[in-house]
Amino acid sequence: MLVLGIESSCDETGAAVVDDAGQVVSDVVHSQVKMHALYGGVVPELASRDHLRSVGPVVREALARAGVAMDAVDGVAVTNRPGLVGALLVGVQTAKGLAWATGKPLVGVDHLMGHLLAVFLRRGQHDAATPRFPFVSLLASGGHTAIYRVDAPRADAIVELGATRDDAAGEAFDKVAKLLGLGYPGGPAIDRLAPTGNASTVKLSAPMNAAGSIQMSFSGIKTQVAQLVARAGPLSSERVADVCAAFQTAVTSSLARKVIDAALREQVGDVVLGGGVAANSELRRRTSELGAARGIRVLVPPLASCTDNAAMIAYAGALRLGRGERDGWDLVATSETVLARETRKGRGRR
């Protein structure tokens, strides 16, 4: 079964052709990151307009690279939640139009489900081993940060074990980088500078470090950096590197510990990292080391599968289509995930 996937939930327009075994036949991503860099973050209205310009060419390119026409495709899958509603609508309306015009079945896909199943995509030599169900997954991106238990590739078999109470981890990287004058997106810039700095010269407390808590928080550490910058005035490049090192160590050691603790608590053998923050070298290293010490296998998909892409949407859609699931023309775009949320923003015991 070949599925065309379309993704437009945030600042990447994606289209991909994937089969129901997860083999990626084509995967095209048009990133808007340069356009939003000017403003230091994603501007929703600009995102929608750019999706509108790009979605046609990106879909055509994905079909051309796969060497197939629409009649060879068995269905159309599209991200319809969660995300920026104006951005999502562009993908959803495009998918509906294509499905209607070609008589193919349509399925909506939850973007977070796509990320959680991206580890099953097969792209070639850099494929991670596939996890065994049940596994625990840390999904950390610019918009979401949560730890899930995945018992099966279905929304009703996935539970959130803990999530951020406030900012997403990637958002914290982006905001801290902005405070340090490092531009957008901040994650790669901090990742590059951190190894050249000395973390022990900057006092930052790790976020929500209470033993046993799988919930997270990243706005406090961002405020600590803001106060440090306000107190110290313009920082030398050496000092900027020290702050990057301290921030990255605090965030990644907390994430690594929480996801491994979650796996031990749930008695599962496999941990998967996903989302753009999974590109972080220190997070990969710390989680793998901690996992190895506790007898847990840590799987990190290739970068193209971690960051936003339509291949993960096509694959999650292929599984839905394979189960006989279909959506109608009333499929809506919404900012809410289908996955049950356990963590309430700003609430509860820390």
Interaction site with ligand KG4 (CB under 6 A): 10, 141-143, 170, 173-174, 185-188, 191, 275-277, 279-280, 307-308
The partner in contact with residue 5, picked from Zn ion, ligand KG4, none with C-beta cut-offs of 5 to 8 angstroms by kind, is none
CA neighbor of 161 nearest in space, from 110, 212, 221, 113: 212
CB of 301 vs ligand KG4, minimal distance in Å: 12
Q: Which is nearer to Zn ion, 308 or 327 (CB)?
A: 308
The partner in contact with residue 54, picked from Zn ion, ligand KG4, none with C-beta cut-offs of 5 to 8 angstroms by kind, is none
- For 262, the token pair is 């979650």
CB of 86 vs ligand KG4, minimal distance in Å: 16
Residues in the chain: 350
- For 296, the token pair is 């847990």
Q: Which is nearer to Zn ion, 32 or 141 (CB)?
A: 141
- For 132, the token pair is 């065994």
CB of 314 vs ligand KG4, minimal distance in Å: 17
Q: Which is nearer to ligand KG4, 8 or 63 (CB)?
A: 8
Burial 144-163 (b: 16+ CB within 10 A, else e): bbbbbbbeebebeebbbbbb
- Determine the Cα–Cα distance for residues 217 and 230; give it in Å rounded to an integer: 22
Q: Which is nearer to ligand KG4, 73 or 202 (CB)?
A: 202
CA trace torsion 341, 343, 347, 350 (10° rounding): 170
| Candidate ranges 33-41, 133-141, 207-215, 242-250; the one touching Zn ion (CB under 5 A) | 133-141
CB of 190 vs ligand KG4, minimal distance in Å: 6
- For 107, the token pair is 């399925």
- Beta bridge partners, 270, equal 297
Q: Which is nearer to ligand KG4, 104 or 175 (CB)?
A: 175
Residue at token pair 């997270």: 216
- Binding to Zn ion (CB under 5 A) within 136-155 occurs at 141
| 3-state class (DSSP) for residue 301 | coil
As a whole number of Å, the end-to-end CA separation of the chain is 46
User: What's at 255, amino acid-wise?
Assistant: L
Q: Which is nearer to Zn ion, 137 or 141 (CB)?
A: 141
CB of 290 vs ligand KG4, minimal distance in Å: 18
Q: Which is nearer to ligand KG4, 106 or 314 (CB)?
A: 314
Give the H/E segment covering residue 7. strand 2-7
**Sheet of 24-31: strands edge to edge?**
24-31, 12-19, 2-7, 75-81, 106-110
CB of 299 vs ligand KG4, minimal distance in Å: 17
- Binding to Zn ion (CB under 5 A) within 275-314 occurs at 308
The partner in contact with residue 131, picked from ligand KG4, Zn ion, none with C-beta cut-offs of 5 to 8 angstroms by kind, is none
- For 210, the token pair is 């209470």
Q: If binding is defined by CB under 5 A, does position 12 make contact with Zn ion?
A: no
Residues that bind Zn ion (CB under 5 A): 141, 308
